Amino acid sequence: MRAIDHYAWTNRWRDRHPAEKLLPAGGLLVLTLLLPPLTTGPLVLVGTALATVGGAGVPLRAFLAMLAAPAAFLLAGAPFLAMSISFADGFDLHFPAEGARLALSTTVRALAAVSCLTFLTLTTPLVDWVPLLRRAGIPASVIELILLMYRLIFVFAERALTGRRAQAARLGYARFDRGVRSAGLLAGNLFQRALAQARRLEIGLAARGYTGELRVLRPEQPLSWPRLAAGAALVGLIGLLGGLLARGWP
C-alpha cells in the first residue's frame, strides 16, 4: 500500500489534471466491459501498461506486482467457471467447450479491467479525486470524512505493523490459539488508540476554530485539452481495433 501511494504521489503524471487520467482509464474500462473481451482485453492491457510505464514513468515491476494479486484470484477461479455440474442422473462433472470459452473471456476481461484501475491507482493520489466528488454532489461533510480517513489509515497502518512486530518478537504468533489472542489484542488496542486519537484531533481542531471544514490550498492543475483529446484518441483507437479484430479483420 505504501509503495502504491508512493508512486501515486511521485510519478511523472502526478500534476496532470485528474480528468486527463480518468477519461482514458474510464473509457478503456467501458470498452473492456462492452466489447468482446478476447480481442479488446489484450489491447487494453497493452495500452494501460504503456501509459503507466512509458507515460507516467512507474516501474513495470510495480505495475505487474499490482496485477499479480487479482490475477492469482482469477486463475484460481477460472477452472470453476469452466466446469459444469449436473444432477440429472446422480452427480456429473464435465468441462464443456463453452465453459472454457466463458472462463477465458471472463478472466481476460477482468484482468484488463483491473489494469485500468491499476493505471489510475498508480498515477493519481486519492486526494485528487476530491474535487470531482464535490462536483458529483457528494455532501461536503462526507468528503471531509473521506479525507480524514485517508490520513488516518496511514497512521494506523504504521501502528499495526509496529505492534505486530513487537508481538511476533515475543512469540505471540507461535501457536494458533496465541495468534488469535494476539491479533485480537492488537485490534482492540488499535481501536482504543484510534478513538483516543480522534478525541485529541477533535480538541486540537476545535482549539483552532474548526467548524466542520478543513480548507487547504491545492496545487493548480490546469486541464489540458490536447492531452484530453490524446487520451480520447487512444480510447477510440483501441476500441476501433478491438471491434475490427472481433469481426475477423483483416
Partner 1 sequence: MHITEGFLPPLHAAAWTAVSLPFIIASAWRVNRLMRDQPQTKLLLAASGAFAFVISALKLPSLTGSCSHATGTGLGAILFGPSVMALLGTIVLAFQALLLAHGGITTLGANVFSMAVAGPWVAYAVLRGSRWLNTPLAAGVFLAAMLGDLTTYTVTAGQLALAFPDPASGMVGSFIKFVGVFAPTQLPLAVVEGLLTVVIVDFLREYSGDELRSLEFPPETFAAEARP
Q: C-alpha cell of 15? A: 500534476
Nearest-approach distance from CB 225 to partner 1, in angstroms = 25
| CA–CA dist 158, 154 (Å, integer) | 6
Question: Is 148 among the residues that bind partner 1 (CB under 8 A)?
Answer: yes
Residue numbers 170-189 binding partner 1 by CB under 8 A: 173, 176, 179-181, 183-189
Nearest-approach distance from CB 130 to partner 1, in angstroms = 12
**Closest CB to partner 1 among residues 3, 237:** 3
**Among residues 38, 129, 227, 241, which is the contact residue for partner 1, using CB under 8 A?**
129
Question: Is 135 among the residues that bind partner 1 (CB under 8 A)?
Answer: no
**Among residues 60, 75, 92, 162, which is the contact residue for partner 1, using CB under 8 A?**
92
Question: Is 29 among the residues that bind partner 1 (CB under 8 A)?
Answer: yes
Residue numbers 207-246 binding partner 1 by CB under 8 A: 210, 212
Question: Is 1 among the residues that bind partner 1 (CB under 8 A)?
Answer: yes
Nearest-approach distance from CB 198 to partner 1, in angstroms = 4
**Closest CB to partner 1 among residues 29, 53:** 29
Q: C-alpha cell of 221? A: 492543475
**Among residues 36, 57, 131, 156, which is the contact residue for partner 1, using CB under 8 A?**
156
CA dihedral 21, 23, 26, 31 (to 10 degrees): -130
**Among residues 98, 168, 171, 244, which is the contact residue for partner 1, using CB under 8 A?**
98
**Closest CB to partner 1 among residues 141, 224:** 141
Written as one string, the DSSP assignment of the chain is -HHHHHHHHHSTTTTS-HHHHHHHHHHHHHHHHHS-HHHHHHHHHHHHHIIIIIIS---HHHHHHHHHHHHHHHHHHHHHHH-EEE-TTS-EEE--HHHHHHHHHHHHHHHHHHHHHHHHHHHS-GGGGHHHHHHTT--HHHHHHHHHHHHHHHHHHHHHHHHHHHHHHTTTTSSHHHHHHHHHHHHHHHHHHHHHHHHHHHHHHHHTT--S---------PPPHHHHHHHHHHHHHHHHHHHHHHTT--
Nearest-approach distance from CB 220 to partner 1, in angstroms = 23
Residue numbers 38-57 binding partner 1 by CB under 8 A: none
Piece of 12-20, 32-40, 48-56, 238-246 that binds partner 1 (CB under 8 A) = 32-40
Question: Is 22 among the residues that bind partner 1 (CB under 8 A)?
Answer: no
